[in-house]
Structure 1
Amino acid sequence: MKKLFNGRFSTLYSVLSLYVFLSFIIRIVLMIWSLKDLDFNLLHILRAFFTGFVFDFTIGCLFLSLYIIYVLVLPKRWVGSLFDKCFTYFYLTLIFIIIYFSLLAEIPFWDEFGVRFNFIAVDYLIYTYEVIENINQSYPLPLIGAVLVGLIILTFVSFKKVNVFKKTFSDKSSFRTRFLYAFPVLAIAVFLGFLMKNKIADFSNNSVVNELGKNGAFSFVAAFRSNELDYETFYPKLPEKEAYSIVKKNLLQENQKYTTSKYDDISRFTLGNQEQKPNIILIAIESFSADFLTEFGNKDHITPNYDQLSKESVFFTNLYATGTRTVRGMEALTLSVPPTPGNSIVRRPDNENLFSVSSIVQSKNYHPYFIYGGDGYFDNMNTFFGGQGFDIVDRDRGNPLPDNIKTQRFSITDQEVSFENAWGICDEDLYKQSIKYADKSTKDNKPFFQFVMTTSNHKPYTFPAGKIDLPQGDRNAAVKYTDYALGKFIEAAKTKPWFKNTVFVIVADHCASSAGKWEINIHNHHIPAIIYNLPHQQERIDRLTSQIDLMPTLFGYLGWSYTTSLYGKDINQTKQGDERAFLGNYRTLGMLKGNVFTQIDDRKVVKQFSVSSDRSLSEIKTKNNTDISQTISYYQTASVRFKNGKMKAK
């Protein structure tokens, strides 16, 4: 062992040892960080740490593979030369930047998402403006940069002090000797690089244990390589006709009938009564957990306006978001579809002209708008909404719409902005855009449907000064400002002639946090929703409801007759006992029905859990096969229908 650190390869093995050691320290830090959600099973924890060590060693070898080849093939007469030293120091500087940055970045990522780097981190590489600005506004970048530089300098000084470089640049061993040291590391790197998969770490029901067994850099690469997941390849399936038969049986409401007898056609005609056609403003509030409301036990009184509106509205108290990201909320509210595996449909190619809520409102002669305070290029929003016929209102930072998108785009000018951060303009300014285009549609004598996406309740949690009594930079403060802006918007809307004939659907896109003990944490999908200003008395809906059911339920209140291919249902036309909610997190998919949660994943593993009153889970050994078949049928048909183009509007 001593020979490894006393020759030409001393730098190589020193860096590899340092990386494995630091990764172990980070693993300890993350474990302590999540003690409240950790399953204290000693064997599972030891297995996670061993698996993590193998991942650390693998990625460490891969980091250094180019340097291994360099040390192996460099002629011994060049050892210790200026070229040798320059290349070594340059390569090590790059490696240390990658190592220290990735290890340090894991801590805030874990804090926000409760997992190692995943597809979210990969997505952030695409949208550099928002991400860099968010980091700049959320963290002290000069200090982080200084720490990074300091760590690199300290490492070089330490290596020099223990003569690591002296040994590297003085040992002129033969090619045969170098080969004996280099080949095993290269062989192990290649072998483990192909063998190791993140799925190996997913051996328990505890999400924290599973994530501890992974490596952040390896997880990032794995997410980059598998940014799409094909349902038919990776997930449990039923025979196609059986899957459609189950879905069609469960989709049909008491006021619906199928339009054809084709086994794979889910189009239904919905019979309404006394149809009304008010304007519709759908507000998706960023990261607005049910926990923020007084109704659900919050004692901080940070949502007085939403609390009051809920008492004057149809209030959904038991509604669950399909996912943990904005694009999933958008997908649920517009396409009314379960969260299929991999990327949200909002971010996928060939997602234009899908049957959506927009298809239904446009059939009623509504003018649809998508209103967003940032640049809708982010997360492919403009392409998606434009592809469904929405006119776009956004900040427009110079990213053009694709040529195949024929809708109009209206830019929010600098003169219309009083405050802006990395993600977009403040909610007050955004709501002024909503009023502006509501006025325009009213002037044109055209009913309007607006999808308004807020951003103020997002890190860095900044907003205009002097609006509320809490300091900026804090989640509670951002929630209170978000609620304040909503209250001001409703006040302003009440002064408009179109207010009396306008319905407001106000719902969260997802919860503020997704971290927790289980692969899917049901409590962290619980969101509030209200339908305000209906010509209907105030009502509480305590029945289990999915985010995909919200718009079909609205159409039911409006008495609309229409044809639908949506997976969502009008909760008021759903039989008692048939309520269900769909929850997913990219790889793992589930259905909540009653007090049973059925979960499927990309290893074709099916699990069922009993759900307690506080939404904690305990695995069931005797499975409910009816729920399993229903879960599989929904996700299988939704995935296949998008893949094969059957979600397209006819």
Structure 2
Amino acid sequence: MRNRFYFQPKYFLYWLLVFALGRATFLLYHLSRTAELDVSSIVRTFIYGVRLDGSAAAYLCLPPFLLLIAAGWFPRLRAGRIIGIYTGIIGTVVTLLTVADLELYRAWGFRLDNTPLQYLNSPAEMAASAGSSPLSLLTLIFVGLLLLGYALYRRLLSPLQAQPPLFGKLRAVAIAFLYSLLLIVPLRGGVQQIPVNQSDVYFSTTLPFANHAAINVPWNVVQSLPLGELKQNPYQYLPDTTARRLVTQLYLPAPDSATAPRVLRTQRPNVLFIILESFTAKLVGHLGGEQGVTPTLDSLARTGLSFRNIYASGDRSQKGIVALLSGYPNQPTTSIIKFPRKTEGLPNLARSLGAVGYASSFYYGGELAFANMKSYLLAGGYKRLIERQDFRRRDQNSKWGAHDHVLFARLLQDLRQPPAPFFATAFTLSSHEPFEVPMQPRFRGTSETALFRNSVAYTDHALGQFLRAARQEAWWANTVVVIAADHGHHLPGNSGGHEPEKFRIPLVVTGGALRANAAGRSIATYGSQTDVASTLLAQLGLPTQEYRWGRNLLAAAPAAAPAGFAFYCFNDGFGMVQATGAVTIDNDARRIIERDSTATPQQLQLGKAYQQQSFDDFLRR
């Protein structure tokens, strides 16, 4: 039985079916790849993919739903005909994108996004890319999908029933408006805190093709348009050969680098990597910051290995995680994590350690869909992800998810029977805005700075409790613990967005696998988050060639930067820090923002070269 007021939910369902048909076509077209999936994985491409399908469907439903609100007040409006024409046009575009993606995926290995727009000014290159495509087959698929979409529309939605004569206009408008309002939920991909993104449909830790199949192509194309994708490097400060030579010098091994000390007792210890949200050196006592805020970190510096001059590569969590786990530098106005097809080619500690038998896991009390972190972690080789949904409802006691003491308790519980060796990463969240923590304030005041200071103190306390309990576990004796921040913070002191103080962070190494002669050592070399992966892998005797933007912080510094260096990005500029001082540059104005009187002209050139070469690398990926 047809009813006018069933039309809107059925219209939404229509688009879900169209997208499911497109996914089925993708799986059939790439049958050789689909055959590698088990039945469960194939089914999950549809189950997980429905969130992006629903988001795309909701956007496509908005114009017809708004038209039906108007039609409720003006019953003679030919809404059915207008919606039919609209659906035909949009359906043709969706089908075109679906079919174009079939062959482009075979050639490129990633789902259709804004990349083809790069070829609009180069028709010869576009023709070359399409030259080997089976155009007859693709045309047949295109026509077939159009006909199936038309038949489905006729069967499900046509014609639009007239408004019942005795049905009041106000009531008709209210119903149509209510349906329109309900679109907010699928638009966001659900009622969770973070709107849906590509990470939400990634579910496989071993089969990238399964994750790719779950992506909704029209959604992916539209979502990628604002990101753009530059074809030319806007940071062309120097001739390429000069920039390349200068950056190469920054990573040339020093003559005595082969004598870098080993600080671990065993070759294959467990690795526990703890990433602290927003921990700025300004609140860390042993780094010259405020005293009494981080007694746990300060104690670890006295008994473990501490690095005094480490800087975050960027100013956001997703940027810090890529720098720490992949040893990859940040970009000034974007982040590589927004481009899953680029991050799939990055090295990752999980993959490097997994290659020699480590079991990897990542723990976070919040939602890993945030900023595409989930897709990055799965592509990087993590086999087990624990996030907000994996904690009990009553333990999701923070705005962002589960507070840090809950996170550490879950981590400790899971490690009581760990695989050997393990690589476990934990990312805290309680010291993120709004700085609400489940602990009595240790410091007075209700200002933002006071709240932030107390949140850092809480996380430091939770970390201390976890480490005290961990020392009683059997695995502790053969475990190295690496503790670093994801980025710094403008508080306290409201540091400017470009200032080095905002980017300076703690880095401490501890654990039962640490040699006794490493206890209490303080390393003065200047370094970045991008150096952490290389330093750890060198200690484990594993290859570091993939991590070309990192160096071993325990080895002698290169001659071009005798005491080391740290490069960081902000919007839209960069900073270069060495023992001689710091210099910061505005990329837009091509001018110095601040420069210490002791900073050398060579240091400025090195910073420009690094900015130019690192962004070149980003563009090529």
The 1:586/1:437 distance shift into structure 2, 3 A limit, reads: farther
Match of 1:328 in 2: 319
1:159 equivalent in structure 2: none
Q: Which amino acid aligns with 2:415?
A: A
CA deviation digits over 1:315-367, x for unaligned, max 9?
11111111221112112101212222322222323122422333322232212
Residues 375, 394 of structure 1: 8 Å contact kept: no
1:587 maps onto 2:572 in alignment? yes
**1:598: how far off?**
4.1
Q: Is residue 457 of structure 1 aligned with residue 435 of structure 2? A: no
Aligned residues of 2:435 and 2:455 also touching (Cα < 8 A): yes
Could you tell me how far 1:468 is from its partner in structure 2?
Answer: 6.3
1:426-461, Cα deviation, whole Å (9 max, x unpaired): 11111123223433433xxx3111221100112222
In 1: Cα distance, 2:474 partner to 2:570 partner: 42
How far apart, in 1, do the equivalents of 2:593 and 2:432 lie? 33
| Alpha-carbon separation, structure 1, partners of 2:266 and 2:246 | 31
Equivalent-residue separation in structure 1 for 2:597 and 2:287 (angstroms): 17
* 8 A contact 1:227–1:342 mirrored in 2: no
After superposition, residues 628-643 of structure 1 pair within 5 angstroms as 628-643=604-619
Instruction: Letter of the 1:585 partner, please give it.
Output: F
Is 1:365 the equivalent of 2:357?
Answer: yes
Q: Residues 228-239 of structure 1 correspond to what in structure 2 (within 5 A)?
A: 230=230, 232-239=232-239
Task: Note if contact 2:278-2:488 (Cα within 8 Å) is conserved in structure 1.
Answer: yes
Residue 146 of structure 2 is matched in structure 1 by: none
Match of 1:341 among 332, 339, 351: 332
Q: Is the 8 A contact 2:495 2:502 kept in 1?
A: no
- Count of residue correspondences: 392
Deviation at 1:544, TM superposition (A): 1.6
Q: Is 1:545 aligned to 2:530, yes or no? A: no
CA distance change for structure 1 residues 238 and 298 in 2, over 3 Å: closer, same or farther? closer
In percent, how many aligned pairs have the same letter? 25
User: Aligned to 1:501, which of 463, 467, 478?
Assistant: 478
Residues 287 and 506, structure 2, Cα contact 8 Å, conserved in 1:
no
Other-structure match for 1:525: 503
Q: Cα RMSD (Å) of the superposition?
A: 3.5
Shift of 1:390: 0.9
Cα 1:566–1:362 change in 2 (3 A) is: farther
Give the whole-Å Cα distance in 2 for the aligned partners of 1:550 and 1:341: 21
The offset of 1:565, in angstroms, is: 3.1
Post-superposition offset of 1:275: 6.5
Q: Is the 8 A contact 1:395 1:413 kept in 2?
A: no
Structure 1 residue 292 corresponds to structure 2 residue 266 = no
Q: Name the amino acid aligned to 2:313.
A: T
C-alpha distance in structure 2 between counterparts of 1:596 and 1:344, whole Å: 27
Any idea what SS the aligned residue of 1:422 has?
coil
Distance 1:603 1:542 in 2: 33
* 1-structure distance, mates of 2:356, 2:539: 15
2:453 corresponds to which residue? 476
Change in Cα spacing, 1:462 to 1:517, as seen in structure 2 (3 Å) is closer
Paired residue for 1:412?
A: 391
Aligned to 1:301: 292
Contact map agreement 2:575 2:582 (CA 8 A) in 1: yes
What's the CA shift for 1:571? 1.8
State the TM-score, normalized to the length of structure 2: 0.56
Q: 1:486 to 1:637 in 2, by over 3 A?
A: same
The structure 1 residue matched to 2:371, chosen from 355, 376, 379, is: 379
Aligned counterparts of 1:412 and 1:572: Cα–Cα separation in 2: 38
Partner of 2:386 in structure 1? 394
1:605 to 577, 590, 594: 590
Q: Equivalences for 1:487-498 in 2 at 5 Å?
A: 487-498=464-475
Task: Give the drift of 1:629.
Answer: 3.7
Please state if 1:433 is matched with 2:410.
yes
Within 1, Cα distance between the matches of 2:387 and 2:574? 34
1:253 match = 253
Decide whether aligned partners of structure 1 residues 280 and 471 sit closer, same or farther in structure 2, where only a CA change above 3 A counts. farther
Shift of 1:419: 5.0
Alpha-carbon shift at residue 612 of structure 1 (Å) = 6.6
Distance in 1 (CA, whole Å) between partners of 2:249 and 2:355 is 26
Tell me the amino acid that sits aligned with residue 484 of structure 2: V
Question: Residues 235 and 604 of structure 1 are in contact (CA less than 8 Å); yes or no, is this contact kept in structure 2?
Answer: no
1:58 matched to which residue of 2?
none
The one-letter code sitting in structure 1 at the alignment partner of 2:607 is: T
Query: Is 1:566 aligned to 2:548, yes or no?
Result: yes
Conservation of the 8 A alpha-carbon contact between 1:283 and 1:504: yes
Tell me whether 1:319 sits opposite 2:310 in the alignment.
Answer: yes
Q: Deviations over 1:292-314 (max 9, x none)?
A: 12224555512222211111111
Which secondary structure state, in structure 2, belongs to the residue aligned with residue 369 of structure 1? strand
- Gap change, CA 1:349 and 1:601, over 3 Å in 2: farther
Q: State how far apart, in whole Å, the 1-side matches of 2:568 and 2:228 are.
A: 18
Distance 1:226 1:571 in 2: 38
Check whether the contact 2:320–2:486 (CA below 8 A) recurs between aligned residues: yes
Q: How far is the alpha carbon of 1:393 from its aligned partner? A: 2.6
**Which residue in 2 is equivalent to 1:555?**
537
Q: CA deviation at 1:631?
A: 2.1
CA spacing shift, 1:256–1:441, aligned 2, 3 Å: farther
Structure 2 vs 1, CA of residues 556 and 470 (structure 1 numbering), >3 Å: closer, same or farther? farther
Q: Helix, strand or coil for the counterpart of 1:457?
A: coil
Structure 2: how far apart are the matches of 1:256 and 1:231? Answer: 40
Q: Quick check: 541-550 or 489-498, which moved more?
A: 541-550
Q: Deviations over 1:343-396 (max 9, x none)?
A: 222232312242233332223221222211111011111111111011343335
* Matched residue type, 2:333: G
CA contact (8 A) 2:272 2:480 kept: yes
CA–CA distance in 1 between the matches of 2:441 and 2:396?
Answer: 12
Answer yes or no: is the 8 Å Cα contact 1:319–1:526 preserved in 2.
yes
Q: Give yes or no for contact 1:385–1:392 (8 Å, CA) kept in 2.
A: no
Structure 1 spans left out of the alignment, 5+ residues = 1-124, 133-223, 258-267, 398-410, 614-619, 646-650
1:570 alignment partner, SS class: coil
Distance 2:466 2:597 in 1: 38
Deviations 1:268-309 (A, max 9, x none): 9x9999971111111111111112122245555122222111
Measured in 2, the distance between the counterparts of 1:365 and 1:256 equals 31
- Distance in 1 (CA, whole Å) between partners of 2:368 and 2:238 is 38
Q: Distance in 2 between matches of 1:598 and 1:297?
A: 21
Give the gaps of 5 or more residues in structure 2. Answer: 1-187, 196-223
SS in 2 for 1:452: strand
Calculate the TM-score normalised by the size of structure 1.
0.54
Q: CA deviation at 1:564?
A: 3.1
Contact 1:279 1:501 survives alignment (8 Å): yes
Secondary structure of the corresponding residue to residue 311 of structure 1: helix
Distance 2:367 2:509 in 1: 28
Contact in 2 for aligned 1:275/1:561 (Cα 8 Å):
no
Q: CA deviation at 1:504?
A: 0.8
User: What are the residue-to-residue correspondences of 1:169-208 with 2, within 5 Å?
Assistant: none
Q: Equivalents in 2 of 1:469, 1:633: separation in Å?
A: 44
Residues 355/559 of structure 1: CA separation in 2 closer, same or farther (3 Å cut): closer
* Counterparts of 1:299 and 1:637, CA distance in 2: 37
C-alpha separation in 1, matches of 2:359 and 2:366? 21
Following TM superposition, by how much is the alpha carbon of 1:242 offset from its aligned partner in structure 2, in angstroms?
3.6
CA distance in 2, matches of 1:323, 1:126: 29
Which deviations, in whole Å up to 9, do the C-alpha atoms of 1:475-518 show, x marking residues without a partner? 22212211110011101211211111111111111123278575
